[in-house]
Amino acid sequence: MVETLWAPWRMDYILGTEPKFNGCVFCLPENHLGPLEERLVLHADQDVLVIMNRYPYNNAHLMVAPRRHVATLAEAAPGERAALADMAARVTEILDKAQRPDGYNIGINQGRVAGAGIADHLHVHVTPRYNGDTNYMTVLGETRVVPEHIRETYRKLLEFFR
């Protein structure tokens, strides 16, 4: 039996109509604080921002980045590194309440060869993991099923960041 996998949000990508941003996706206007829905930013303070991954590995895959445009942990000031770690911990607490995952993958891909899709702005991936989220679709079909539209997840998570 053939199963149908609906992914209507991918049409923006296919048609080339998804939002495009000049410059770095992690760089916000200098004085901007708080959420920014069109860019999927859930939180922004003077030190860090939390943004949803537009191409998530899993539902509610978030990224934490310093406000300052730096490429590596070594370039980040000690306060920025502390703010990244603190916010990554806070994000897991929020996701525990909002999504109830069974675990997390938390990490940094530093440099393009290490898998960084955006290599010139440091960011920490916080990817919730759920029992059964790796199944035949991922293993055999090389397809990941994200069960909720990204905008719906954004709206749900935003309440926890306020």
Ramachandran region of residue 37, left (φ > 0), alpha (ψ -120 to 50) or beta? alpha
- Residue 81, phi then psi, degrees to nearest 5: -65, -40
Length of the chain: 162
- Catalytic hit among 61, 123, 125, 149: 123
Encoded amino acid at 92, one letter: T
CA distances from 141 to 2, 3, 97, 134, 136 (A): 13, 12, 31, 11, 7
123 is catalytic: yes
Query: What amino acid positions are annotated as catalytic residues?
Result: 123
